[in-house]
Amino acid sequence: MNNSYMENIYNQFNRLDDSANLWCNAFRKTAMETFSDIGLPVKRKGNEKWKYTAISSIVDKKYLLADKSNIDIDTIRNVAPYSEKWTNIIFVNGYYDSRLSDLPENGMILDIGSAMLDNSQADKLKNTIGSIIDYSDEGFAALNSSFLQDGLLIEIDDDLDAIVNVIFYNTGDSLTFNNPRLFIKAKSNSSASIIESYVGGSAHISLTNSVCEIQVGSKANIKHFRMLSETDNTYDVGYSRVKIDDDAIFSSTSFCKGANIGRYDSTVVLDGVQANCNLKGLYFTSGNQHMDNYINIDHTKVNGISNLFYKGILDGKSRAVFGGTVLVRKEAQKTESIQSDKNLILSPYAEVDSKPALFIYADDVKCAHGATAGNIDADSVFYMRSRGIDAATASKLLIYGFADEIINSVNIPELREYLEESFLKSIPDYVFEF
Amino acid sequence: MSELNNFMIEIKDLHASIGDIPILKGINLSVNFGEIHAIMGPNGSGKSTLANVIAGRPGYEITRGSIIYQGEKINEFLPEDRARKGIFLAFQYPVELPGVRTWQFLKAAFDSVRKEKGLKELSIREFDKLLEEHRQAVEMDPDLVKRSVNEGFSGGEKKRNEILQLALLDPTLALLDETDSGLDIDALRIVSEGVNVFKNPNKSILIVTHYQRILDYIKPDYVHVLMDGSIVKSGTSELALELEEKGYEWIKESMSDGS
């Protein structure tokens, strides 16, 4: 048994200063107890959730809890989606950076670190943070909770016009770990667009271990975007839980392109009647990267609609995993659900394990699912070459075209431009031989 | 450009296979500048293969013989190099390119062909103006230019898009592969007009077709009948009418008669 990583984590935990907030101390302690029991999901045998992702290279190292760090805004803007039109909230190594952020004064957005020092906010924290997730079988989420020090709580009362852009920047100091934490609470009838980005990293190994909770109140309409773009030396594990109430709409688009081992574990529970969720994703892996998307949808009430549409582009010796389940419970009659994962494989050494699953316990539903993996279409390349476009350019246009279906669906122009540029830059020069 | 006694394209004893299967079995064909030739023949005779081999489609292997284009042997040329030198294949089944905008595709093709000709790149405004002229000529819906190439286009729209590309890229040799298939009368008229506008003494056209119908609109100088990978009969446009009347069986019979 390799328990040295546990010992190291205890040491880090014991070095944490007590929070002035009693609730927080208790929260951490409870989480650490769970973490001690379950550890990290090293064992893959019999563990469907981690079947295709080995974390041995993550746990065989000793990490220090990342420190606060002073960096300038240009560093952030170089790597993250950013616009002066947005409300930009920036965390460095998991710690809120007031210098770089423009927190509105209406109290709708709270940095958890400051809120914990304010007794009047105690109930608010208690009623939100940790209320949606269940880490009893989730080592990484328990680990994140054990180290709760800071984070962001966004409460949306009404229609939030300004786009909230939350950036978690990791300085990537050698063998450090950081624990970003986000809670989004959209009250009834509210609407907002929120961008959640994980960026940074360095040439050294580091670990970003985030937790995000989203509560979508009845008739609310939340658009969420998630960006994973750290360096190839970063391990990034993200855990998110979303609950959608009656008649509410939750749309989320996830982009994954940078991490050594990346994992995004997201479950959306359609907790109210006629709830609607629309999940899209684009992952792009190259070199020796490993990207695991584990995306689940849980239909619990009648008239729910869910669309899950992921696409992957794989190059080099990279590996991608797409897993997750659409569950339609017995009570969830009249559910409509589509689940699909399409992959474009650019290299004979790349591999995808795509296993979307569908469990239906209701008898009056419309559900479909499917997965595909294929190379660039030879006829398409020839068609373009026959118009004078060289093979490399043709391939590039086709690869980009494959991604475009997801990128082009982003309705925030500045974000779409960022994605276009960022993905175009990462498309390799590739000539297909047929 | 055209020297004395030089053909637009000269095909000599051309044999070609797809995989291990021989399709073309000794084609000889010479097309002068300014001429329109029609290649007719029953299904599976090798008509489309001929057009695709000239365009350089990967997987279509020349096993013997040569293709001389404007005095230069192009057997080993890449398809994009042939296109840049002025060979254009209008596809029987134009390919859909999801996510690749028609505008972007046309601009990329236009720039690469123009570069080969030594002409300077057009500004976006100049290009848009030219594109708009050609779009109107083929009566293509302006929205289609913003959409993915051929995706969700009707059969007729796809063929109009081929003719739009023909006009825009302005090649010297146009290979029209079953361009009339799937077209209604109006679309056929528009497409044929596009081809007739393209026609001039410095350009040549090779029309591959099963039916005579398109030849009512685009009048060929010569008609060749292809059967089982070789040209079995050549003639003027009268031959197409005769074929329409008597069918391909007639050729087979006249061949076995030894006439």
pLDDT tens digits along A149-173? 999 999 999 888 889 999 999 999 9
Residue B83 with chain A: CB contacts under 8 Å: 385-388
Cα three-residue angle A85-A89-A95, rounded to 5 degrees:
165
What strand order describes the sheet that includes B230-235?
Answer: B87-90, B173-177, B204-209, B36-40, B222-227, B230-235
What is the per-residue pLDDT for A428? 72
Distance CA B240, CA B138 (A): 27
Q: How far apart are CA A298 and CA A250, in angstroms?
A: 13
Q: What is the pLDDT, as a whole number, of residue A113?
A: 92
State the residue range of the domain holding A384: 377-434
User: Domain tally for chain A?
Assistant: 2
Question: Which residue, A272, A293, A309, sits at the end of a domain?
Answer: A272
Residue A110 amino acid letter: L
pLDDT at B46: 95
Q: Tell me the pairing of strands A152-156 and A109-111.
A: antiparallel
> Cβ of B142 under 8 Å from any chain A Cβ?
no
Which positions in chain B touch A385 (Cβ < 8 Å)?
Answer: 56, 78-80, 83
A297 lies in some domain: no
- CB-based contact B161:B193 (threshold 8 Å): no
User: How high is the pLDDT of residue B107?
Assistant: 96
Structure tokens belonging to residue A306: 């869910």
Would strands B230-235 and B222-227 be described as parallel, antiparallel, or unpaired?
antiparallel
| Residue B72 placed within a domain | yes
Range of the domain at B137: 7-256
> How far, in Å, CA of A9 to CA of B207, rounded?
75
Closest by CA to B161, choosing from B181, B179, B184, is B179
CB pair distance less than 8 Å for A386 and B56: yes
DSSP B79-93: HHHHHHTTEEEE-SS
Say if residue A383 is in the same domain as residue A254. Answer: no
Q: For A397, which of B56, B58, B100 is closest by C-beta distance? A: B100
Q: Which tokens in the block code for residue A422? A: 């960022």
Residues A44 and A184 in one domain: yes
Residue of B nearest to A398 (CA): B100
Q: Which distant-in-sequence residues (6+ apart) come within 8 Å of A232 by Cβ? A: A201, A258, A259, A260, A287, A288, A289
> Pairing mode, if any, of strands A87-92 and A64-65?
unpaired
Chain A residues with CB-CB distance to B89 below 8 A: 386
Return the closest-CA partner of residue A283 out of A324, A314, A239.
A314
Specify the pLDDT at position B2.
43
Confidence of residue A432 (pLDDT cuts 50, 70, 90): low
Q: How confident is the model at residue A57 (pLDDT cuts 50, 70, 90)?
A: very high
CB contact set of A229 (below 8 Å; sequence gap of 6+): A79, A80, A197, A198, A199, A255, A257, A258, A422
Task: Spell out which residues of chain B touch residue A377, defining contact as CB-CB under 8 Å.
Answer: 95
Nearest to B183 by CA among B147, B138, B227, B144: B138
Among A100-109, A190-199, A292-301, B57-66, the range scoring the smallest mean pLDDT is: A100-109
pLDDT band at residue A178 under the 50/70/90 scheme: very high
Query: Which residues are CB-contacts of A280 (< 8 A; sequence separation ≥ 6)?
Result: A251, A252, A253, A254, A308, A309, A310, A406, A409
- B54 by Cβ neighbours in 10 Å (0-12 / 13-18 / 19+) ranks as buried
For residue A2, pLDDT beyond 60: no
Asked whether residue B15 is domain-assigned, the answer is yes
- With respect to residue B210, please indicate whether it lies within any of the assigned structural domains: yes
Q: Does the residue B86 lie in any domain?
A: yes
Task: ipTM value, please give it.
Answer: 0.95
8 A C-beta contact, residue B115 and residue B140: no
And the tokens for A396?
């590039």
String of b and e for A391-415 (b: at least 16 CB within 10 Å)? Answer: bebbbbbbbbbbbbbbbeebebebb
Please indicate if any CB of chain A lies within 8 Å of the CB of B105: yes
Mean pLDDT computed over A252-279 = 97
Q: Rounded to two decimals, what is the model's pTM?
A: 0.88
Q: Which chain B residue has the Cα nearest residue A390?
A: B80
SS3 (DSSP) at B155? helix
Q: Does A14 touch chain B (CB under 8 A)?
A: no
Which parts of chain B register pLDDT below 70? 1-5, 257-259
Two structure tokens written together for A303: 């008239």
Contact between A205 and A233 (Cβ < 8 Å): yes
Q: How confident is the model at residue A120 (pLDDT cuts 50, 70, 90)?
A: confident
Q: Which residue of B has its CA nearest to A433?
A: B58
Identify the pLDDT of residue A48: 86
Number of domains in chain B: 1
CB of A92 closer than 8 Å to CB of A169: yes
In this structure, are residues B179 and B155 in contact, taking their beta carbons and an 8 Å threshold? no
Residue B54 confidence (pLDDT) = 98
CB-based contact, B88 to chain A, within 8 Å: yes
Statement: residue A1 has pLDDT above 50: no
In a domain, residue A286? The reply is: no
Q: Could you tell me the two tokens for A372?
A: 């595909």
CA distance A358 to B169: 49
Q: Is A386 touching B (CB cutoff 8 A)?
A: yes
Left, alpha or beta for A371 (phi > 0: left; psi -120 to 50: alpha)? beta
Answer yes or no: do A130 and A251 share one domain: yes
pLDDT in tens, A301-340: 999 999 999 999 999 999 999 998 999 999 999 999 999 9
Q: How far is CA B45 from the centre of its chain?
A: 17
| pLDDT tens digits for range A25-51 | 999 999 999 999 999 999 877 888 999
Domain boundary among A272, A305, A320: A272
Question: Can you say whether the dihedral through the CA atoms of B146, B150, B154, B159 is positive or negative?
Answer: positive
Q: How far apart are CA A372 and CA B156, in angstroms?
A: 30
Nearest to A33 by CA among A109, A145, A132: A145
Domain limit, last residue, from A228, A255, A272:
A272
| Percent of chain A predicted with pLDDT > 90 | 86
Please indicate whether, in this complex, the C-beta atoms of B108 and A389 are within 8 angstroms of each other.
Answer: yes
Does B18 touch chain A if contact means CB atoms closer than 8 Å? no
> What is the model's pLDDT at position A282?
96
Measured between CA atoms, how close is A416 to chain B, in angstroms? 15
Question: What are phi and psi for residue B162, nearest 5 degrees?
Answer: -60, -45
Which pLDDT value is given to residue A68? 95
CATH of the domain at B177: 3.40.50.300
Q: How far is CA B174 from CA A96, A139, B76, B108, B128, in A?
A: 64, 65, 19, 19, 23
Average predicted confidence (pLDDT) for chain A: 94
